[in-house]
């Protein structure tokens, strides 16, 4: 069975940093693009970014709101995905989901909550 | 950037009803569209990808259609477990974007 498990969420002050992790099981992330999607409380889904699987050109692309503050990375050997978030604002408060970028976006992790507050 | 607009934003329907949800892209996205179902407090689940392909394990009462800018998700006979919020997503070039969602409620 395919599983994605996020960790690393929590409470952080505005301007702070947080690093989220995502552990995959049941498949090797080296064969897939991997995405982060977030959802603010009571709001809709928002795509954060994608790291493409290794190939001739393996891009990492972000939504406009990231503005250079977030970095997505991957460790294929450990089948792990990361999201480094810096300069956090209260607007970044959300549940962050790790998702495999295959057949649409599937499967999804259970999400980890990031709360930005003073 | 491509904007995705879903309609209606919410609808009330009864068990057994045929329900059609619409998603429109601000420019052509070929068939690079997926549909997701989300229940309260749960992670989204992908139902349809590439506009018409049913995800493994998804009931056949769900179907998708469309290409270019106009897409639909149809539930042929609404079941109690289908009451949820549905989102579309385009993945035809970066950045990807979701529609704002359609909430399907019990009448």
Per-residue pLDDT of A7-66, as tens digits, reads 999 999 999 999 999 999 999 999 999 999 999 999 999 999 999 998 878 799 999 999
Query: Is residue B78 within 8 Å of residue B104, measured between CB atoms?
Result: yes
How much is the pLDDT for B75?
Answer: 98
Q: Return mean pLDDT, chain B.
A: 97
Q: Strand A10-12 to strand A112-116: parallel, antiparallel, or no bridges (unpaired)?
A: parallel
- Choose among A69, A53, A70, A49: nearest CA to A61: A49
Q: Strand B102-106 to strand B10-13: parallel, antiparallel, or no bridges (unpaired)?
A: parallel
How much is the pLDDT for A55?
Answer: 82
Dist CA B34 CA A48 (whole Å): 17
Q: Is B31 on the interface with A (CB under 8 A)?
A: no
The mean pLDDT of B76-105, rounded to a whole number, is 97
The mean pLDDT of B82-86, rounded to a whole number, is 97
Q: A44–B100: do the CB atoms touch at under 8 Å? A: yes
A64 contact residues in B (CB cutoff 8 A):
1, 95
Q: A61–B91: do the CB atoms touch at under 8 Å? A: no
A46-60, A93-107, B30-44: which has the minimum mean pLDDT?
A46-60
Q: A104–B1: do the CB atoms touch at under 8 Å? A: no
The mean pLDDT of A84-113, rounded to a whole number, is 97
How much is the pLDDT for B29?
Answer: 98
Q: Is A40 on the interface with B (CB under 8 A)?
A: no
The mean pLDDT of B1-9, rounded to a whole number, is 97
A36 contact residues in B (CB cutoff 8 A):
none
On the question of pLDDT at B102 being above 80, the answer is yes
A37-41, A58-62, A98-102, B38-42: which has the minimum mean pLDDT?
A58-62
Dist CA A109 CA A107 (whole Å): 7
Please give the share of chain A, as a percent, with pLDDT higher than 90. Answer: 96
Q: Give the model confidence (pLDDT) of A68-97 as tens digits.
A: 999 999 999 999 999 999 999 999 999 999
Dist CA A65 CA A48 (whole Å): 8
Q: Return mean pLDDT, chain A.
A: 96
Structure tokens at B63: 């179907």
How much is the pLDDT for A16?
Answer: 98
* Overall residue count recorded for chain B in this entry: 107
Q: Is A34 on the interface with B (CB under 8 A)?
A: no
The mean pLDDT of B5-27, rounded to a whole number, is 98
On the question of pLDDT at B22 being above 80, the answer is yes
How much is the pLDDT for B74?
Answer: 98
B68: left (phi over 0), alpha (psi -120 to 50) or beta: left
Dist CA B52 CA B35 (whole Å): 10
């Amino acid at each position: 069975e395919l599983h994605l498990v996020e960790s690393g969420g929590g409470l952080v002050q505005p301007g702070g940093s947080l690093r989220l992790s995502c552990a995959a099981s049941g498949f090797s992330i080296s064969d897939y693009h991997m995405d982060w999607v977030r959802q603010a409380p009571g709001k809709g889904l928002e795509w954060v970014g994608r790291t493409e699987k290794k190939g001739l050109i393996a891009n990492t692309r972000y939504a406009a709101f990231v503005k250079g503050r977030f970095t997505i990375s991957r460790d294929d050997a450990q089948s792990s995905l990361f999201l480094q978030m810096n300069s956090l604002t209260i607007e970044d408060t959300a549940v962050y989901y790790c998702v495999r970028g295959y057949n649409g976006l599937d499967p999804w992790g259970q999400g980890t909550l990031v709360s930005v507050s003073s | 950037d491509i904007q995705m607009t879903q309609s209606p934003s919410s609808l009330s329907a009864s068990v057994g009803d045929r329900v059609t949800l619409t998603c429109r892209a601000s420019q052509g996205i070929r068939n690079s569209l997926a549909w997701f179902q989300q229940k309260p407090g749960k992670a989204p689940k992908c139902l349809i990808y590439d506009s018409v392909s049913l995800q493994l394990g998804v009931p056949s009462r769900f179907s998708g259609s469309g290409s270019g800018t106009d897409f639909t998700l149809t539930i042929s006979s609404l079941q109690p477990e289908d009451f949820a919020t549905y989102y579309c997503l385009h993945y035809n070039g970066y950045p990807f974007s979701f529609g704002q969602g359609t909430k399907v409620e019990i009448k």
